[in-house]
Amino acid sequence: MSSEKIREQYLRDFEPREYPVAMRALTGVHPFFQRELHSIFNSPVSDSWRTLLDIGCGPNVGNVFPASRKIRSIVLSDLLPRSRQEVEKWIQKADDAMNWSFISEPLAILEGCMDAKSGAKDIEERTRAAIKKGHPVQRPGPERPPRRAR
């Protein structure tokens, strides 16, 4: 299948609200992923990082929870307007926003919080404060040619 067909299918068929359900089903994968991100963003390597750009974030804000401990400027970007809308709902604390506590609560434990629920709320608030922009991912066109390798 061509990349254009895959893109069209994604734009047509992806349902952002099904994403957290699928993530919860991957019981062993997500804890590993969170531990690794926590380790990366708590290492000295990340001390000089100022901005994080998450390209292809989908409706998921949980990927940047560990980063928000150090990075105060986070930009989220996705191709699908529905995914960007879900992120915006979460940032604005809309009543129908997705619940990402299944990601923030285990991270709160990793960060040393005694109360996972309280720690998760703190993580989510600092992440909301760090997210500065949400941008659409665009295809390069005549006005934006692709970068060439040097």
Section 20-24 average pLDDT: 87
Q: Tell me the domain boundaries of the chain.
A: 3-136
Render the burial of 33-61: b for 16+ CB within 10 Å, e for the rest: bbeebbeebeeeebeeeeebebeebbbbb
CA torsion angle for 9, 10, 16, 18 (degrees, to 10)?
A: 60
pLDDT digits (tens, 9 = 90+) for 39-78: 998 888 888 888 999 999 999 999 999 999 999 999 999 9
Band (pLDDT 50/70/90 cuts) for residue 147 is: low
The CATH code for residues 3-136 is: 3.40.50.150
Residue 144 pLDDT exceeds 60: no
Share of the chain above pLDDT 70, in %: 91
Residue 142 pLDDT exceeds 50: no
Residue 143 pLDDT exceeds 80: no
pTM comes to 0.83
